[in-house]
Structure 1
Amino acid sequence: MRFSKYLIPLALTIAVIISLTLSVVIWTNPANYKNRQNATQNTQNEEITKPKRYVYAPTQAVHTDSNGNQTILVNRLVNSVTEIQKTMRDYQDVHLKKISTRSQEAYFQIANRPDSIMLSYVSPVSVKIINELTNNRFKKLPNYQVSRIVLPTNDSTHLYLLNDKNYAVYRINVKKHSLKSLNQVLDMNIRRIPASFQLFNGQPMVFVKSTAQLQPYRYLIDRQSEDYYVSRLLNNHDSQSSISVKRRRNVVTYSDQNTLQLAFNSRTRIGTFSDFRSNKNQRHITSVLSDSYNQLVDLGLPLESVHFFNYNPASRIVSYRTFVEGFPIFRTTGFGTISTQILNSNAKRLQFSLDNPEVPIPNNEGYSTLPTTETVISRLISKGYHKKNIQNLQIGYGWRRDNSSQLLVNLVPDWYVDYKGNWHSYTSLINR
């Protein structure tokens, strides 16, 4: 009787040990990779299917107070852009009117309007893309290109769309609504950097007016296996061909021997997916960005901090970057975190990294102090760089390997300069 008293607990304990042992074998054995992938498919889908309104959200918010003073709202504890975006979903009776084009005076009058928040893109999008932010409220508006959205904090019947390319100003009339939630964002615990919005080399740009202190980060990176992307990009397509593998130096190429090819560079850890099937060969910015978003979802890479960064209409390359505190991460390899390109009616390309920031690790280093925009420009000129070739400047984070572990990366604040069409860190340009 005494033995039987312990029989059931003992049996349960043994069952638990066996279950845990089998689980470890299943989850650590590469041969069972597909089973592991299927078991976590639902969780992964929740992570990767971020809606368009998230991926194509503006990347910067600038507040202009009642006295005309401007500050960049920095995402530290609160994602200010996301919170502002939430207030844009209840517009009623929406109508658009073109106010002006090719007038810098009219453009900056609205852009620097007191009592407003300006949301900015690095590269223009279209009204149809912004429609995703507004819960489909802009679906009937003309599909103009837009660089910035100006939301008055003291006028509940108007907002404005701006296009940097031709200084176009569009006023959107809406039914009167409450501005309480929009103004509440400004009362949240948000860091602010003094700024001004002005012309530089004939293009509108946000200038940082005082030194900015940013926190360096250490991130645990997700080093995804090649098998995962082979399964996502090759096995998921309707193809009767078997997958072939070819190795040439540091490049491994997988192919369905027909229309799909996936290559990995072991040195740069960059993957390139080429799709040679016929496509619609989109050229309008709306269709290009929509197709690009679909490729992101096919890729299956978590999009928690990934946002649209740039579109080049000449090459039809769409690039995305991972953002930290509202600032983009720059790397020495690749076009960004992810890039897509429509080559022609029979070819598309998708490029991505196998290493992506995943979990922040506490960093004991102090804040990094970055100089003002004017200081950066003047130092670059004194070093021999031509002002006319500086196309843009952005505060960002540089990706540097951590010597203590291959699974850690250091993200270091720095200025980034678009010089002659390519992004370079300010530090690297000054030290050349």
Structure 2
Amino acid sequence: MKKNKQWRVNIRYFRQRYGVIIALIIAILISIFLSVQLWYSPGQSTKQQRANETSQENATGENLTSVYSISQMVFNRQDKNISAIDYRTLYATIVDRVKKWDAGYKSSEVLKKQDYLDALSQEKSIVMTFPDAVSGHVIKSIFGKRIKLANNATINHVQVPQGDSNKFYFYDDRHRKRYTYQISNAPKKLQHLKPGKKTADVSYQWVGKHVMAATTTSVNLQSYSYLLDVDSTVSRLTKLFADGGTRDVNNGQEILTYSNGDNRRMQHNVTTGLINYDAYNINRDVNSLSQRQSEGYRWLLRLHQNADNLYYFEEHDKGQTLTYRLFVNGLPIFGQTTYGTVRVKQLPNNHERIGMSQYSLRVPLPTDQKNQVNLEPMNDAMAKLQSVGVARDDIEQMTIGYRWQLDTDNQIVTLNPEWCFEQDHVWRSVNEQVKSEQGGH
């Protein structure tokens, strides 16, 4: 009996002395638990993800070099011009060295068409060509802030010396303009760089409003196969939205629509795999190619489209439409759909639309070295088009690329090299165009 009484006394004493503290601890734990639950609710998860993306953008800064890269490198020799097929490592070496040069702006001039080609062909030099115009801001991000060039300048080619010249140049196809820079100090020069074993002879030609180094001999290129990546893009993007999406069927196509109020909407066409992400009420002034290319890069980060092999491909209307494509071995991938493509489009009323696909490439499969394709010189490919009624003046651009072909049974993508051309802002396969015009025979 005394023990029970003593026990009750001890309990009362413990409660009086520590009860408030224990109650406070319990209240704090409950508060933390509820806060965590609220924090990881779908809406807060979206906000946190956006905060993480903003942090990622700030940490990465304007690292435009990861997306805005060249698509061709040519070594100008005394007797011929040679295009390096595998140029990525060489490009990184050149950029690293040029960034350490002391160079000052000297002059700029507008050249006649033939003079422009002759200047690009200058022997003992290396010409690096972007797939389409990039802004002066991108150029400075790549080669260093010491380059004095207006942010709104448009550049297609960079020419650096391999001989005794102390000048290098930037070229603007649209205005046939050449910018000259004087090198005062170059700790590491480029004389000993070579194009590698895999090369093609080329000559500089005007195609539409662009200059390209067109192959003058046939070239053998490897075909590749990849496993198809289906789900990762959708799973990442749906985390940006609090709702689970509403399902609808239009014309036999199943469409999922996600929304975050009035500012963000995403439509995922489950049937085709195409995705449109709409951003409304954009409160930033994005009016120049420089601003739009920076904005395009930020959208790639926000929407997790910054794959290692995704690069800038082309722009239209001073960057109001920007296209990024997957590249394999330095060449862009094309297909009948937007597979492997991200398109950022600026629309009226502060509206931007980003089009992409849920399908991408995952794992490369073992390569059969015998599985190669022999591609004719560019002028031969152009002659094919002219034979079926496509006028040379109607061709806006031409390039060798990889055509995306999907085996739906095995979920394997085969990439075969072939000539592609642009007409009316649409890219097509030369072979497919010829077949179509000849009635499929």
Q: Which amino acid aligns with 2:70?
A: P
1:35-75 CA distance string (max 9 Å, x none): xx99xx99xx79x969311211222111111x141111111
Q: Which amino acid aligns with 1:295?
A: W
In 2, Cα distance between the equivalents of 1:272 and 1:94? Answer: 44
Where structure 2 has 5 or more consecutive residues not aligned to the other structure, the ranges are: 1-44, 437-441
Of 141, 146, 152 in structure 2, the residue corresponding to residue 132 of structure 1 is 141
- Alpha carbons 1:128, 1:139 under 8 Å: kept: no
In 1, Cα distance between the equivalents of 2:336 and 2:175? Answer: 32
Of 58, 62, 82 in structure 2, the residue corresponding to residue 71 of structure 1 is 82
In structure 2, the partner of 1:238 is none
1:85-123 CA distance string (max 9 Å, x none): 22221122432421x214224322320000111111222
Distance 1:428-1:201 versus aligned 2 partners, 3 A rule: same
State the TM-score, normalizing by the size of structure 1.
Answer: 0.81
Distance 1:315-1:130 versus aligned 2 partners, 3 A rule: closer
Distance 1:417-1:260 versus aligned 2 partners, 3 A rule: same
In structure 1, the partner of 2:186 is 177
Moved more, 194-203 or 375-384: 194-203
In structure 1, the partner of 2:335 is 331
Q: Which amino acid aligns with 1:430?
A: V
Residue 57 (1) aligns with residue 61 (2):
no
In 2, Cα distance between the equivalents of 1:311 and 1:297? Answer: 19
User: In structure 2, the residue corresponding to 1:251 is in which secondary structure?
Assistant: strand
Q: Which amino acid aligns with 1:340?
A: V
Matches within 5 A, 1:20-419: 51-65=63-77, 67-75=78-86, 79-98=89-108, 100-138=109-147, 143-155=152-164, 157-180=166-189, 182-186=190-194, 189-201=196-208, 203-225=210-232, 226-231=234-239, 233-234=240-241, 244-248=245-249, 249-313=253-317, 316-334=320-338, 337-364=341-368, 365-406=370-411, 408-419=412-423
Distance 1:350-1:103 versus aligned 2 partners, 3 A rule: same
- Alpha carbons 2:209, 2:396 under 8 Å: kept: no
- Alpha carbons 2:104, 2:148 under 8 Å: kept: no
In 2, Cα distance between the equivalents of 1:209 and 1:269? Answer: 39
Q: Looking at CA atoms only, which structure, 1 or 2, has the larger radius of gyration? A: 2
Distance 1:419-1:87 versus aligned 2 partners, 3 A rule: same
In 1, Cα distance between the equivalents of 2:170 and 2:339? Answer: 28
Distance 1:367-1:171 versus aligned 2 partners, 3 A rule: same
- Alpha carbons 2:340, 2:359 under 8 Å: kept: no
- Alpha carbons 1:156, 1:179 under 8 Å: kept: no
State the TM-score, normalizing by the size of structure 2.
Answer: 0.79
Tell me how far 1:185 sits from its aligned partner. Answer: 3.4
- Alpha carbons 1:68, 1:112 under 8 Å: kept: no
1:170-205 CA distance string (max 9 Å, x none): 10123221454x344316x44111111123456422
In structure 2, the partner of 1:4 is none
User: In structure 2, the residue corresponding to 1:94 is in which secondary structure?
Assistant: strand
In structure 2, the partner of 1:30 is none
In 2, Cα distance between the equivalents of 1:335 and 1:343? Answer: 22
Distance 1:96-1:355 versus aligned 2 partners, 3 A rule: farther
Q: What percentage of aligned pairs have identical amino acids?
A: 22
In 2, Cα distance between the equivalents of 1:80 and 1:68? Answer: 22
Tell me how far 1:343 sits from its aligned partner. Answer: 0.8
Tell me how far 1:141 sits from its aligned partner. Answer: 5.0
- Alpha carbons 1:71, 1:195 under 8 Å: kept: yes
Tell me how far 1:300 sits from its aligned partner. Answer: 1.2
In 2, Cα distance between the equivalents of 1:73 and 1:112? Answer: 15
1:355-413 CA distance string (max 9 Å, x none): 2123211132521011111111112111222222112110000001025512x210111
In 2, Cα distance between the equivalents of 1:140 and 1:210? Answer: 36
Distance 1:52-1:430 versus aligned 2 partners, 3 A rule: same
In 2, Cα distance between the equivalents of 1:104 and 1:140? Answer: 23
User: In structure 2, the residue corresponding to 1:300 is in which secondary structure?
Assistant: coil
Tell me how far 1:243 sits from its aligned partner. Answer: 5.8
In structure 2, the partner of 1:24 is none
